[in-house]
Structure 1
Amino acid sequence: MNKRAGIGFYIFLVVFVFFVMFPFIWVFLTSIKPPGEIFSNFRWFTSNPSLQSYENALTNRPLARYIMNSFVVSSLTTIIAVAIASVAAYALTRLPIKFKGLIFGVVLASSMFPQIAIISPIYNFITDAGLRNSYLGLVIPYITFSLPIAIWILATFFQKIPWELEESAKLDGATPFQTFRKIIFPLAAPGVFTTAILVFIGAWNEYLFALTINTEDTWRTVPVGISFYQSQFTIPWGDISAATVLVTIPIVILVLIFQRRIVSGLTSGSVKE
């Protein structure tokens, strides 16, 4: 009975992984098909695989520039958001501050605003500040929606750290900032790393602000750049699929390299000490 249950579990696991990976597999298979076969048949595999779509994706549009823009904007957003969120989460969870519940409620409420509701005032602010078509013009609005969730995630990890460590540091004469820098932050490193990955991916995939604020082609990010592959009369699905594969590779590599830290961060925040 146990053997049958084990076989059934593995069958279910294979089917589940297939359904999860199906969109990615189909996009990759589409990217290596000759353009003439994409609409002529719906076969999984092609007998004449071609890299023409990849060449078109890199030459017809400045895809490398889009990737660099996304990387710079996402990296700056991650560094600034995690730095501010770490200090804010530490203050709200470890220091004697009044109205903590109210502050957390405001932070949570701010993360629930839809982007379309705040795009107008942010657009006006960025325009008045002369920051359109720049990296900083995207970093500022990206922080507005990544900072609240980063504070909430990091607050969970900071709350799990034993209070005795902080009390010992105070007895040794450490200031709150020294305690945060030398004790709390290093112990919460898995959570900080997990938060950084989530913020980076969120900024990498953002579309609405990037479409509205950076309108010049040299400043567009990956999601917006890929949407401009289509023309008035045709949609080059082969080129779009190839571009999608190319821009997904950095994220996949990033997750594979740091998967242990990500899992460690996610689990450490859910297990009580």
Structure 2
Amino acid sequence: MTTAPTTTGAGTPGAAGPATAPASAPAAPRPARRAPGERARRALLTCGVAAVILYCLAPFYWMLVSSLRRTSDIFEKSPWPSPVSFENYTAVFKPEQGFGRALLNSLIVAGTTTLCALLLATFTAYAVARLDFRFKRAIMSAVIAMSMFPVVSIVVPLLRFFTDIGWINTYQAMIVPSMSFALPLAVWNLTVFFRQLPEELEQAAMVDGCTRGQAFRRIMLPLAAPGVFTTAIITFIAAWNEFLIALSMTNKSDLQTATVAISKFTGATTFETPFGSQMAAGVLVTVPLVIMVVLFQRRIVAGLTAGSAK
């Protein structure tokens, strides 16, 4: 007698039952949806940033548009000049305006102020950040207090002093007062940066035989280059935009800076205000600063954010 094969459980060899289906892979999690409140906050933040950017750029945009209008169209309210005219830029560089010389004077004053301020501020900031001496807090308090003085408070006594020593209508009459504001700014920025640098690097260099001066020159100063570069740009911008000191210390047209020259532009007649030429000159004064910041923005950000880890 032939015996029929016995039926075994599922999954055993030779089973007569149906085959078991393979286990399916887990489904990928769906991205979580943002809550309505979070979306509203992000939209509000975006609108706020856009409003701030628009508020900051609107004056410069209108200055650029006005500089490209014809003199007869200067009071038009259209958002774009029609037709576009460069007559205001041509008028800026007329010999009687002396604007080219004024730009050179601004470069000399701002550049010299920046170099002198950086030279003094680098050593001062390093000493304050690394050395322990008496009255250090008092010195930093004096630095902060000096930066808070209004310009007019020092212009009048300095004008009398410079008159007595024969410094009126000289470059140093504009550079020295400008440093009274540029130097505290540079000292404060560089002090904060030097405090962020690791002190162990300097100590290791001194263990290897360097003096403190050599450790500063060979180790600390290269590490502080981003901070020095950032401070140089900020100081240069502040000195470039200075107006009251340059206006008070000079009365010769060949020594006035660009900001003073713009305020003294004359029109075709005595009673005419050359708004178009002033707008064009304002663009020419502002564009170099904008280009400098755009070209070196990475270094500026690196100088503002670099710390001991960097």
TM-score (norm 1): 0.92
Aligned to 1:130: 166
Aligned to 2:4: none
Point out the structure with max Rg over C-alpha: 2
SS in 2 for 1:217: coil
Q: Does 1:229 align with 2:265?
A: yes
Counterpart-to-counterpart distance in 1, 2:158 and 2:172: 13
Deviation digits for residues 94-147 of structure 1, max 9, x if unmatched?
112222111111111122111111112222232233222222221111111111
Aligned to 2:83: 48
How do 1:65-76 residues align onto structure 2 when only pairs under 5 Å count?
Answer: 65-76=101-112
> Structure 1's 14 and 107: CA in aligned 2 closer, same or farther, altered over 3 A?
closer
How far is 1:7 from its partner? Answer: 6.2
Aligned to 1:118: 154
Q: Does 1:257 align with 2:295?
A: yes
Q: Percent identity?
A: 41
How far is 1:46 from its partner? Answer: 2.6
Q: Does 1:103 align with 2:103?
A: no
Counterpart-to-counterpart distance in 2, 1:129 and 1:203: 24
How do 1:34-183 residues align onto structure 2 when only pairs under 5 Å count?
Answer: 34-39=70-75, 41-59=76-94, 60-183=96-219
How far is 1:17 from its partner? Answer: 2.2
Q: Which amino acid aligns with 1:221?
A: T
Equivalent of 2:282, from 233, 236, 244? 244
Counterpart-to-counterpart distance in 1, 2:234 and 2:161: 26
Q: Which runs of 4+ in 1 moved over 6 A?
A: none
How far is 1:259 from its partner? Answer: 0.8
Which one scores higher on RCO, CA 8 angstroms, separation ≥ 6? 1
Deviation digits for residues 26-80 of structure 1, max 9, x if unmatched?
00100111111112x3122232111011111111411111111001110100001
Instruction: Give the length in aligned residue pairs.
Output: 271
How far is 1:158 from its partner? Answer: 0.4
Counterpart-to-counterpart distance in 2, 1:11 and 1:115: 37
CA contact (8 A) 1:153 1:195 kept: yes
Deviation digits for residues 173-224 of structure 1, max 9, x if unmatched?
2222212111111111111111111110010001111001011000000111
- In structure 1, runs of 5+ residues without a counterpart are none
**Structure with greater helix share of residues:** 1
CA contact (8 A) 1:34 1:52 kept: yes
Q: Which amino acid aligns with 2:273?
A: I
Cα-Cα RMSD: 2.0
